[in-house]
Each structure stands twice: as C-alpha cells, then as structure tokens.
Homo-oligomer: A and B are copies of this chain.
Amino acid sequence: MNIGQASAASDVSAKMIRYYESIGLIPKAGRTEAGYRVYTTTDVNTLRFIRRARDLGLAIERIGLLVGLWRDRERSSAEVKRIAEAHVAELEARILELTAMRDTLRELADACRGDHRPDCPILRDLEGGGRRPGRRRIDLRQCASAPAAQPDAVGKLTG
C-alpha cells in the first residue's frame, strides 16, 4: 500500500502521515526501490488509532504515549486512564476559560442596544478594563507582580 492508499484507508492526510513519521510518532515506513513509502494494514490501524485520538483533541505527545501503551501487552489500564483523565482535566479547564469569555461577551452584547447610535457598553468595557464595580472579570491579576503598573502609575499616566 502506498501513502495515498494508506491515507484513504486511515483518513489521515498523506501530509500528516509524513509529518508523523518525521516527528517519530510512527516508525519510518519501508520504501519501494523507487523510494515510495510502503504501508501495511498494521500501519493503517495505527494511523486510525491516531486519527481517533486527534479527534478527541489529544496532543501528539500524549498520543505517542497512548500508542506505546496500546502496543504494550504488559501495560496497566491505570496508565491509560491517567492520560485520559489528564486530558479531560485540560479540556475542562479550556472549556471554563471559553465559557467565561462567552459569558462576559454575551452580557456585554446583551447590554448593547445595537442601533445606529455610537454608545456601546462593549467598547466601554474594553476601554475601561473592567474597573467599574459589579462587573465580573475573567482574571485580573495584571497589576500584581507588574512592578511599574500600580494604580498610581496609571493615574499618573492618565493625568
């Protein structure tokens, strides 16, 4: 099987197959005399495995670990589970971030009349940096550990 056929069989683009090989995620494929890469059904199964894992959002590095465990008959399922749960935790963290962004922006958009007039709470918020009371901020620790950005400095700046 050449790379095009392996690609069609695994739903991984030829480009990505070569890339995975170049970074060592999959072993170097055999070659024909003319230099064409040659794949077996085993290789295709590995590629399908990788494709599934990518669909679940796993990073390449983590997929490498999983492929290793997959091939290892002595593996403990605990190791696999640990990797999966690490990824679940990362997904949840990301989901929380995005949800916070969405909520803030949703609130602002809802508060904006969206008419022909220039007045707009969205721009006011971006401009003001959320220093008005009662406004929930995503994360505001910029001033901490920023040696020159104390409120005074801002005051001096704006004055």
Contact = CB atoms under 8 A, between A and B. Distances in A.
Interface residues of A, number: 81
Copies in the complex: 2
A28 to B, nearest CB: 20
Interface in A110-159: 112-120, 122-123, 125-127, 129-130, 138-139, 141-143, 145-149, 153-154, 156-158
Given A11-B141, A44-B157, A95-B102, 4 more contacts: A10-B142, A44-B149, A73-B118, A77-B112
30 contacts: A1-B148, A6-B148, A8-B147, A10-B146, A10-B149, A11-B143, A11-B146, A41-B149, A41-B157, A42-B157, A44-B157, A45-B149, A45-B157, A48-B149, A55-B101, A55-B138, A55-B139, A56-B104, A56-B126, A76-B118, A77-B118, A81-B109, A81-B113, A81-B114, A82-B114, A84-B109, A91-B98, A91-B102, A95-B95, A95-B102
